[in-house]
Amino acid sequence: MRRYILPLLSVVLVGTGAGLLLSPSSDPVLLTQTQVATNQPVTTLISQPTTNQSPTYAPPTQLNISVKPGDSLSAIFQSHGLDAAQSYQLLQTEHGALLNKLQPGQEIEIRYTQRDNHVHQLILRSGDATETHFSFQDNGCHSKQIALAVESNKDYREVSISRSLQQDAQAAGLSAATIQTISQILASEIDFALDLRTGDHLAVLLNRHTRNGKTVSSPTIEALAFFNNGRYFEAFRFEGESNTYYLTADGLSLQRRFLRAPLDYRRVSSRFNPNRLHPIFKTQRPHNGIDYAAPEGIPVLAAGSGRISFIGEQKGYGNVVIVDHGQSYSTLYAHLSGFAAGLQAGDDVSQGDEIAYVGQTGWATGPHLHYEFRIHGQHKNPSTVTIPYDAPLSKQELMTFLQQVAGIKRDFTSRFSTQLKSKINR
């Protein structure tokens, strides 16, 4: 028969001043759970069955508890021999707040001194790449986080676009978060609302991080390639001294000064027809921008960083925002239903900031965003205007990157399917 040794000392438990360490509202619960714990000690999973068959009491040196729904911190502490003073000290440590946010599935290991069966260490494991150690010493309790060894596995995927990036990439096993990152990396190159074509092709090399077979963090994108309507882009991840970049094989930034489309491509429903008759004037008029048909209220993003030079109403445009990006670049967003709360002329905005919401104010027959791109006051086609590449790396970083990227690129491209290769070489 298996015998489990419990470090329960009911005499100590019932007598502790538990109210010292918990918020007042938990006091009644605590008392009940203390009683439950003393009557039915096996409320938590207790490993370490003893093999010691001698009748003398041998204190265990460690217990593993897996947190289950409904478990409370106080009950766990109380039923495993932590007194009120120790519990209080634990919660006061640098990482003590983690103990107050216990989640089912987390594991707690409690270590006891062999001599007097006192708790001397508690380890919290959350299933990610770190564990937190709480250690009792003469001068109190101290906590620290320890990084665990993580296994990294490469995972290569290809996606042939037939419906949308979202749908096709998800069907190929990519998570929504990964798809979002891919679209952000390519946001200066590809307008995912207007540019995608059937037959476009994505290749991505992921690094998946696991520990004991369990995922510990979302995968990183090591390299990606996108074949889009006759154009071809590659991006490689590089961890620089202070930033992580996605760069061309030459070390140039893919995150350029302007987004191709200043809204969330997933919400844009129809394509722009540049030859359409003006819906109100019924004649063809010069059209100085791109119209994105999109549901009323979806966020409009600053295409690039800059300063708000105008925010308000203009004839025809309705509610409009103009952003001055410096060096003679400016962008204009029209027919808006409203503006981001508190935004005023003179405010600085960063690329991707929400500045306004799609609407149909001014001369518009349905909700859409009218978007203009100007250089020296002259209108340019936002979807074809050349935006200079940034070279963000220091000379030292660039040398490191160029050394690394050669091998990564060889590994990446060696995985390409013949289908993708034939598209690139066509």
Residues that bind Zn ion (CB under 5 A): 291, 370
Cβ distance to Zn ion smaller for residue 226 or 317: 317
**Least distance (Å) between residue 286 CB and Zn ion:** 11
Q: Tokens 């991840």 appear where?
A: 237
Nearest approach, Cβ of 290 to Zn ion (angstroms)? 7
Q: Which is nearer to Zn ion, 280 or 399 (CB)?
A: 280
Distances in Å between the alpha carbon of 374 and those of 258, 354, 385? 12, 20, 10
| Nearer to Zn ion among residue 273 and residue 403 (C-beta) | 273
Task: State how far the alpha carbon of 235 is from the alpha carbons of 221, 260, 398, in Å.
Answer: 9, 17, 15
- Quote the least distance from Cβ 364 to Zn ion, whole Å: 8
- Our CB check for Zn ion shows the closer of 83 and 291 to be 291
Question: 370 or 374, CB closer to Zn ion?
Answer: 370
Query: E strands within 84-129?
Result: 107-112, 119-125
CB of 386 to Zn ion, least distance (A): 22
Query: For residues 268 and 261, what is the distance between their CA atoms, to the nearest angstrom?
Result: 10
Instruction: Calculate the alpha carbon distances from 29 to 23, 74, 398 in Å.
Output: 11, 9, 60
Which residue, judged by CB position, is nearest to Zn ion in the bound state?
370
- DSSP characters for 26-58? GHHHHHHHHHHHHHS-TTS-----B---SSS--
* Min CB(213)–Zn ion separation in Å: 53
Q: Which residues pair with 157 in a beta bridge?
A: 204
Q: Which residues contact 113 (CB under 8 A, 6 or more apart)?
A: 61, 120
Closest CB 272 distance from Zn ion, rounded Å: 8
Which CB, 265 or 292, lies closer to Zn ion? 292
How many Å apart are CA 330 and CA 339, to the nearest integer?
Answer: 18
